[in-house]
A = this chain, B = another copy of it.
Amino acid sequence: MRPSGRSLDEMRTISIETDITRHAEGSCMIRCGDTHVLCTASLEERVPPFLRNTGQGWVTAEYGMLPRATTTRMRREASSGKQTGRTQEIQRLIGRSLRAGIDRQAMGERQITVDCDVIQADGGTRCAAITGGWIALRLAVNKLMAAGDITMDPILDHVAAVSCGIYAGQPVLDLDYPEDSEAGTDGNFVMTGAGRMIEIQASAEGATFGQDQFAEMMALAEKGVSDLVAAQKAAVGG
């Protein structure tokens, strides 16, 4: 029934390739089916003004899409002179999600910027960005710990995200673009490795949804995040 032939609770193939650029303190290419996102973590020994002399660190994120990551070419945001509302919404979500999984006191007064750039899009780019962004963050923190700059691991748990939706009347896991563009409801679930919630965003895009349907999406999301966390562990240990 799904365009891809997947079963309702079946994730796309996940692959995480680490250390794919030589400059960044942490990096990976995450592939969730045909959605490919390049994530890098950049470390700076300074924090935003509002955190100076608090002893706390900061994690922030930026998100972008290459112009031809999509089926038809989209205008380059650098050329149009501003980031769309969608881009800003997504990068704020990534930042909030990653901050929820780190002890900012333990990381010390430094900033890690996670850049998530979509190389190829097929639905679920923000979820892939969160899941891959966590890998880049993990690797950058590992480097800080290996160098002895941090003694206690500030990372509290894995952070991963998956989308669920109501497609053709059925709750399905990990929507690809053909599903996403037809789905009546679309949700993104960000969770920890322990299954705690970090962020839930569910939105009716055609038909409203009931509490039952929402509960089914939540259950699917738990399964999906658990698969993603397993892939994260395979990629970076732990």
Contact = CB atoms under 8 A, between A and B. Distances in A.
Interface of A: 21-24, 27, 34, 38, 40, 42, 44, 62, 64, 66-73, 76-79, 81-83, 85-89, 91-92, 96, 100, 113, 115, 117, 119-120, 187, 192, 196-205, 208-211, 214, 218
A40 B66 contact: yes
Contacts of A42: 67-68, 72-73
Contacts of A200: 187, 200-203, 214
Per assembly, the copies of the chain total 6
B218 A196 contact: no
Contact of A82 (B68, B78, B87, B198): B78
Contact of A197 (B62, B66, B214): B214
Contacts of A71: 23
A203 B34 contact: no
Contacts of A209: 196-197
A34 B62 contact: no
B68 A100 contact: no
B76 A85 contact: no
B69 A62 contact: no
Contacts of A196: 204, 208-210
Given A78-B83, A89-B89, A208-B196, A73 B202 contact: no
Nearest to A209: B197
A117 B62 contact: no
Contacts of A21: 68-69, 119-120
A73 B113 contact: yes
Contact of A81 (B23, B44, B81): B81
A34 to B, nearest CB: 6
A24 B67 CA distance: 10
A89 B81 CA distance: 17
Contacts of A44: 73
